[in-house]
Amino acid sequence: MAESDKKRMFFSKGRTGKTKWVALGLAVVLIGGGVYGYRTLMTPQRAQAAFQVEKVKKGDVSETVLASGTVQASKRSSLSFADAEDAKDSISSIKVSVGDQVKAGQVLATMDDSVAQIQVTNSQANLLSAEAKLEEAQKRKTTAEMKTLQANVNQTKSELELAKQGIDSQKASNDEAKAKANLANAQKTYASQKTLYEAGAISKTEYDTAQTDLDQAQRDYQTAILTAGQTKGESTSKVEQAQAAYDTAVEALNEANEGPDASTVLTAKAAVVQAKAQLQQAQKALSAVTLKAPMDGVIVAVNGNVGEIPGSDFIIMDNSNSGALEVLAQISQSDIGKVKEGQNVTYTTTSYPDQTFAGTVKLVYPEAKTDSGVTSYDVLLSVANKEGLLKIGMTMNVTIEIGSHQNVLVVPAQALQTQNGKDGVYLYAGASENNVGRPYRFQPVKIGYFASDSVEITEGLKEGDQIVLIANPTSASSSNNTNRMGGIPGMGSMGGGFPGGGGSGMRGR
């Protein structure tokens, strides 16, 4: 705008009458004197002294994401006698107190174990018996045993052959034939004596004797028949028995030659497996009545006393005494895309203002959380605690290292400005009589990584360019990393302000 236009605008707001002309005269004097004084005092050297001129140079820039988080243990266990429900007994001993540091496997508390001990002993005995039977089933016969089996085959074979000969049956048959012949003779004698007796040739005594001999011969013959039949039946049975004994002896010998019986061995193996399972179950029951620490850690709660029935959260422990803890941080939606597992993390806390802690990103949770309209994501971080300074629940300032660019064009963060929604810097154009008060011009740039003290420039500048910084800025703030410089005297509306910062410690585009 021309100087005459500025005057016209100024005067258009004046009042009429004498007061108006007095004000007009005073304004002319002031304007004339001010311009003269500024041109006199603000020489090129003085104008440059009001600002700091920096050269664009190369350097390294690292981008980070800022957040806050809370320290927590990486491992936590709620312990109970859940596996000992069958015991349904009370606590017999508690061997730890809150704050005690324990080792993995250390006994923390117990219940009565007498019944469980008996079950383990019985199961061990059953397993030994089953293993012995399996060993016997798998064992091959010795040479002496094989000879015994062979001798048994030979003996039963001889007995079978003897039984087949039927000597007793033959004798019984002979006895039957003899009795039959005797009976025939007795019948003839009786018939002859009867005829003689009826003829009066012999006495009654002789006749009676013939009758008696006939009766005896008949009895002897019947007895011989019965004996022969019985002997033949016994002979058949003896043959069958001898045959069975021989077959058994042969089978035993053949099995011995073939080795252990597969089905017997399989059955014996199954019995061993079953006995082992029963022993494991008994041992588990015994172990269940003894509560042990599953890890190294510290006792944080004991919810019960000796003589009481333990609850589900009887003893609670974590590894908060270890050198490795975790921090659960909340990252904004705008920054979560930059955070990856494995990135390095640094921490500070008001509890130890002069110390820095280190860790890495462990897990980025996939599900967002929304609170009061603000969307964020939980990120699990590791943190080293070798000196044991950090405590559960402490609030930590989190700085996640996203990445770094080396040997790139950088400018001080204070130099970055915003004009009409564009990022840029004020480029020093030199001072002369023609540009006194305006020796600088706004230069749009594209930026990469944005650190708290420096900004990467990807387009718009070259190494060696001179840029302007306020020597003593009053509006610039270092409380966040996206600040812009305040206005520059003589630049009119070109000066910008820093927009509010987000959760990112740097920015990139």
Give dist(CA 368, CA 333) in Å, integer: 8
So what's the pLDDT on residue 434?
52
CA dihedral defined by 331, 335, 338, 343, rounded to 10 degrees?
-30
For residue range 407-427, what is the model confidence (pLDDT) as tens digits? 999 999 899 999 999 999 999
Nearest partner of 285 among 87, 139, 432, 455, judged by Cα: 87
Domain 76-113+289-317 falls in which CATH fold? Answer: OB fold (Dihydrolipoamide Acetyltransferase, E2P) (2.40.50)
Six-digit token string for 355: 């110390």
Residue type, 302: V
So what's the pLDDT on residue 84?
63
For residue range 320-367, what is the model confidence (pLDDT) as tens digits? 888 889 999 999 998 999 999 999 999 999 999 999 999 999 999 999
Six-digit token string for 279: 């022993």
Give dist(CA 92, CA 223) in Å, integer: 87
Residue type, 40: T
Give dist(CA 305, CA 224) in Å, integer: 96
247: pLDDT strictly greater than 90: yes
For residue range 78-127, what is the model confidence (pLDDT) as tens digits? 998 876 665 557 889 999 999 999 999 999 999 888 888 898 999 999 99
For residue range 34-67, what is the model confidence (pLDDT) as tens digits? 434 444 444 545 544 557 899 999 999 988 899 9
Tell me what percent of the residues of the chain surpass a pLDDT of 70.
79
Nearest partner of 471 among 53, 54, 51, judged by Cα: 51
Sketch the domain layout of the chain as residue ranges.
1-41, 76-113+289-317, 119-138+267-286, 143-259
